[in-house]
Structure 1
């Protein structure tokens, strides 16, 4: 890279002459060394999934979680440096708690993404710190129900808390991805980590933006398939698939962020492996036909 020996990559607070912050770019490279993480937003909720590479056979299966609950209705998954991710989750929980203390209601997913984006951006400004070596995917389901305010006394306006319009739909699923620079966007499907290119290509095929009427259960199956495709593409070591989901109040999770039940996850993995095997067999048949010609 052209920065080597120029001194522009020695501190966070220095821009190169062409306007680049090399420390942030190096942090992005750290993310690309991590396992693949994805998020899928559908009509019924959000699914988060991560490829957790097994670095040692001595590791306890199911331990060392990479998906965390920030508030009852919000979850986070991240790729990159695990200690950085754990600190990110701790800070996100502090932000959610602070919001509850101040406003007596759960924090909206968009506001948590905004606060955490600002927090990560602050770590790109000073020489005494370094950028976070993670990209985080934040998924949540803001309740569509009228939520009573903690410690409420008396009655609010007839249209509801905060002047809600009863004729409009409120709440719903949200998905954000926050990068090491502090940049964040809202997504229908997001992918990061080592297999992000393959995962992104598979997410685009689902036509999530076009209004594909995908159920939460279908999204779980697609998430498992995409993680297996991305892993197969990068040809890495053994891995564990970790998945969680969030639905509305009338869905399977009752508005809470929880792990996908073991039997549903295992069935999704079985289907994903079968599809990969079928695809591999087709490719072998095509190549053998060409050789015969």
Structure 2
């Protein structure tokens, strides 16, 4: 049985006969019309990047940031409806503040993704609300400090009630993507928005699971991938917005910060050069 939206897309809480929720599917379509956003998990940090389309020449360059800091160790980039993205970030900050108040520590990225996934999913349940029109990518660095005594149960040394494995550490880079349905997964590289298919194919070529990509290389690759994905909408200008999070020994000291202007401009220059090289290769093939 194949259903169409008529009659089954009027309420968020109604399924079609073949089990589809059309309101969620419409939200996904809204995301597909947004600028491309990507996240790359490197061996020593996370890079978040966004293709921010310039909708008016009167807009101030560098203003209207779309990548937000949630806590000092985590950031969010989203694609889709900008107001929905801002509300998503506001809620994420509330969750991070609540966690810090209760546990006296920054929220782990996995816990933030879990809470925000549940929050987004709640907006697919009731007819009085609509699903979020954004897909959000959450990147963070969880502290790699040695765990306290009760942090990990070991073979039973005499110290502490639960014992501990000596020198045990936990943490490192984390990357999650939350979809309008509330579904979320952990990723090595994630992409969403209009150019997501092109971006995904380029991310897969990097073999991120091997864990060999450095943070600085990740910044340059993110710029290259976004310029490559932008080819589908060449007629529109865009600004490249990029942030990164490193280890405590890295350039950001475990904090979520903007990529320095010099490095971002260098990454953009290399991305344009790579794009021109690809175009030259295509022209040569056509001539042959």
After superposition, the Cα gap between the structure-2 partners of 1:84 and 1:3, relative to the gap in structure 1 and judged at 3 Å, is same
1:49 counterpart SS class: strand
Q: CA deviation at 1:34?
A: 0.2
- Tell me whether 1:221 sits opposite 2:220 in the alignment: yes
Q: Distance in 2 between matches of 1:119 and 1:224?
A: 31
- In terms of mean alpha carbon deviation, does 62-71 or 168-177 score higher? 168-177
Q: Could you tell me whether the CA contact under 8 Å between 1:159 and 1:165 is conserved in 2?
A: no
TM-score w.r.t. the length of structure 1 is 0.91
Q: Could you tell me whether the CA contact under 8 Å between 1:38 and 1:191 is conserved in 2?
A: yes
Q: Distance in 2 between matches of 1:158 and 1:135?
A: 48
- Tell me whether 1:33 sits opposite 2:29 in the alignment: no
- In terms of mean alpha carbon deviation, does 229-238 or 132-141 score higher? 229-238
Q: CA deviation at 1:212?
A: 4.3
- In terms of mean alpha carbon deviation, does 280-289 or 164-173 score higher? 164-173
Tell me what 2:51 maps to.
51
- Tell me whether 1:81 sits opposite 2:81 in the alignment: yes
- Tell me whether 1:193 sits opposite 2:201 in the alignment: no
Q: Which runs of 5+ in 1 are unaligned?
A: 149-156
Q: Distance in 2 between matches of 1:147 and 1:37?
A: 34
Q: CA deviation at 1:180?
A: 0.2
TM-score w.r.t. the length of structure 2 is 0.93
Q: Which runs of 5+ in 2 are unaligned?
A: 149-156
Q: CA deviation at 1:249?
A: 0.3
Q: Distance in 2 between matches of 1:59 and 1:78?
A: 20
After superposition, the Cα gap between the structure-2 partners of 1:105 and 1:228, relative to the gap in structure 1 and judged at 3 Å, is same
Q: Distance in 2 between matches of 1:159 and 1:222?
A: 46
After superposition, the Cα gap between the structure-2 partners of 1:164 and 1:137, relative to the gap in structure 1 and judged at 3 Å, is farther
Q: Could you tell me whether the CA contact under 8 Å between 2:67 and 2:77 is conserved in 1?
A: yes
Q: CA deviation at 1:4?
A: 3.6
Q: Distance in 1 between matches of 2:42 and 2:158?
A: 32
Q: Distance in 2 between matches of 1:226 and 1:56?
A: 24
Q: Distance in 1 between matches of 2:29 and 2:75?
A: 24
Q: CA deviation at 1:147?
A: 8.2
Q: CA deviation at 1:261?
A: 0.3
2:208 counterpart SS class: coil
Q: Could you tell me whether the CA contact under 8 Å between 1:32 and 1:194 is conserved in 2?
A: yes
Q: Distance in 2 between matches of 1:284 and 1:229?
A: 17
1:102 counterpart SS class: helix
After superposition, the Cα gap between the structure-2 partners of 1:14 and 1:39, relative to the gap in structure 1 and judged at 3 Å, is same
Deviation string, structure 1 residues 77-126 (Cα, Å, up to 9, x no partner)? 00000000000000000000000111111110000000000000000000
Alignment of 1:131-170 (within 5 A): 131-146=131-146, 165-170=165-170
Tell me what 2:279 maps to.
280
Tell me what 1:64 maps to.
64
- Tell me whether 1:104 sits opposite 2:104 in the alignment: yes
Say how many residue pairs are matched: 279
